[in-house]
Amino acid sequence: MTKPTPVAHASRAGGRLERSLLLVVLGALGACAAAPRNAGPAGPRGGGTIDTQSIESITGLKGTQNASENVFKVTSPRNDVSVTVDGRQLEPFLGLTSWAAFAPGQRSECIVMADLVLLRDEIDPVMSAALDHGLEVTALHNHFTGDEPKVYFLHVGGEGATADLARGLRAALDAMKPPRAARRTAADVPATSTIPAATIDAILGTQGQAKDGLYKAVFGREVTMSCGCTVGKEMGVNTWMGLAGSPEAALVDGDFVTLEDELQPTLKALRAHGISVVAIHNHMEGESPRAVFVHYWGVGRAEDLARGIKAALDVQPH
């Protein structure tokens, strides 16, 4: 028998390799053809499900399912309050309805996003209830001007077990119900200020500014704008606090700039010390890292207020 030449061996090996490659390509093409063209990512538009009956049972609210987005939404119109905007009474259907939308999550069983319609004296208890029950507070602002009484909108969200998120929402809604704890006002804060600057400096670990018995401290941060420019304290990227009144009856106001992952611990620290959050929003666009500003107000003993601000400062890196 004539032995095959090395060239013949190579020819047959090459043919087998070509056939193998052809089978791989045909298999890949078949898989692509079999895949659904409109397969979306996991999450709200994915194929997961959540227990909508549990949401309704826990929250006490009826909901509707949006099949195309795979989202279940419950609503609670503010029929209990009459709000006028520019002199005309506004129906709850036109933006005075609290809502919460639930959807299957990717990292957890469920995600929720909500917008709660609040009056002024409801903000503190509702925000604290949301934070205490594992929800995140992401914005606080107004949607109208010229509204009477003033109406505020608290945006919250979270991810986790469906029942836990629903319980967090229910707790926030329950915190809106009277009777609510009386909020101390600034009526007893004296017009002439005698804030002890040295004492406040020692608490904050900084040297603030004193003027006519008032006190102010500013703490700068830095971000990079889309132009590549670095901006800091003097351009408005700062946390500041101001104190007025006396050592026993003082008011504090100011705002915090919070960067990545600092918003929630800052809010929790302020609320734990009885300081009200009055706005959460952005001041810039396109900055890196993203900055969110928290405006606050509080009334109490000057030292107690300063310790509350220090607690919020301590959750930020120095």
Quick check: is 83 in a domain? Answer: yes
The three-class DSSP label of residue 294 is strand
- What pLDDT sits at residue 30? 46
> Do 195 and 310 belong together in one domain?
yes
Omega before 77 within 30 of 0, i.e. cis: no
- What pLDDT sits at residue 43? 52
> Do 237 and 159 belong together in one domain?
no
Quick check: is 24 in a domain? Answer: no
Quick check: is 163 in a domain? Answer: yes
> Do 223 and 308 belong together in one domain?
yes
Return the number of other C-beta atoms located less than 10 Å from residue 81's C-beta.
Answer: 12
Query: Domain limits at 164?
Result: 52-174
Quick check: is 70 in a domain? Answer: yes
- What pLDDT sits at residue 8? 43
- What pLDDT sits at residue 220? 96
CA distance 10 to 285: 64
- What pLDDT sits at residue 318? 66
Quick check: is 44 in a domain? Answer: no
Would you say 224 and 230 are in contact if contact means Cβ atoms under 8 Å apart?
A: yes
> Do 165 and 194 belong together in one domain?
no
- Tell me the DSSP string of 176-215: TSSP-PPPP-GGGS-SS----HHHHHHHHTS--EEETTEE
> Do 132 and 237 belong together in one domain?
no
Residues 6+ apart with CB under 8 A from 92: 77, 78, 79
Question: Rounded to a whole number, what is the distance in angstroms from the first to the last CA of the chain?
Answer: 85
| Helices assigned H by DSSP within the chain | 6-34, 52-59, 123-132, 162-174, 197-204, 263-272, 302-314
| Helices assigned H by DSSP within 100-241 | 123-132, 162-174, 197-204
The owner of tokens 């087998």 is 16
- What pLDDT sits at residue 260? 84
Angle at 135 between CA 134 and CA 138, to 5 degrees: 145
Quick check: is 123 in a domain? Answer: yes
> Do 206 and 159 belong together in one domain?
no
Number of H-type helices and E-type strands within the chain: 7, 17
> Do 229 and 263 belong together in one domain?
yes
> Do 197 and 264 belong together in one domain?
yes
Copy the structure tokens of residue 55.
Answer: 């949401």
Q: Which of 174, 198, 226 is the last residue of a domain?
A: 174
- What pLDDT sits at residue 46? 54
Q: Which of 174, 195, 230 is the last residue of a domain?
A: 174
Number of domains in the chain: 2
> Do 165 and 195 belong together in one domain?
no
- Enclosing H/E stretch for 22: helix 6-34
> Do 190 and 308 belong together in one domain?
yes
- What pLDDT sits at residue 181? 73
Q: Which of 153, 174, 195 is the last residue of a domain?
A: 174
CA distance 20 to 14: 10
Quick check: is 30 in a domain? Answer: no
Task: List the beta bridge partners of residue 139.
Answer: 155
C-alpha closest to that of 298 among 274, 315, 268, 316: 274
Per-block mean pLDDT, blocks of 10 residues, the chain (318 long): 44 47 43 40 64 97 96 97 96 97 96 97 96 98 96 98 98 89 87 98 98 98 96 96 98 96 97 97 96 98 98 90
> Do 198 and 94 belong together in one domain?
no
> Do 88 and 160 belong together in one domain?
yes
Would you say 46 and 40 are in contact if contact means Cβ atoms under 8 Å apart?
A: yes
Would you say 256 and 218 are in contact if contact means Cβ atoms under 8 Å apart?
A: no
Quick check: is 132 in a domain? Answer: yes
